[in-house]
Structure 1
Amino acid sequence: MKHSEFWRAVDTVFGAAYGRSLAQDLVLTSIGTTGVQALDNGVPPREVWNALCDETDRSDADRWVLRDDPRRRRRDTR
């Protein structure tokens, strides 16, 4: 997951304003810092996303909202 994919997932699952607020203000227990601070400190976006989903009790559908299908990616590049 890239940083841009992380932010797109945040916006999609939580809504832009609320999601950005969560990422900035909610301390993620498993990481020990907020999502924004974790990203700034070099924590991989996928790890931050998983921690955010865990902390907010998101469903599996929400967790994998942007899962990329490699078969589709290959087909799109031809």
Structure 2
Amino acid sequence: MRLTEFWNRMNAHFGPAYAESFAGDHVMSELGGRTVREALDAGWEAKDVWRVVCTSMDVPAALR
């Protein structure tokens, strides 16, 4: 998954303003105690981060 697709999906689920806030502020244990941004910066694949977000935040199947 490309980062542009990742951000499109984040924006579709959370809305553009909250997607940015969530990505930078919400620490997730499934990402090793990192935020979404920290995980991506640490080299996590966007598809893996998206899977964690989907599982943790109950993203509807239509947006997965």
CA offsets 1:14-62 (integer angstroms, 9 cap, x no match): 1000111111111122112110000001100001111111111112112
Counting matched residue pairs gives: 63
Structure 1 unaligned regions, length at least 5: 64-78
Query: Which protein has the bigger strand share?
Result: 1
Q: Which has the higher contact order (CA 8 A, sep 6+)?
A: 2
Structure 2 unaligned regions, length at least 5: none
Q: What letter is aligned with 1:36?
A: R
Counterpart CA distance in 2 for 1:17 and 1:41 is 23
Structure ID, larger Rg: 1
1:58-73 pair list within 5 angstroms: 58-63=59-64
* TM-score scaled by length of structure 1: 0.73
Q: What letter is aligned with 1:19?
A: A
Give aligned-pair identity as a percent: 38
Matching residue of 1:35:
36
Matching residue of 1:66:
none
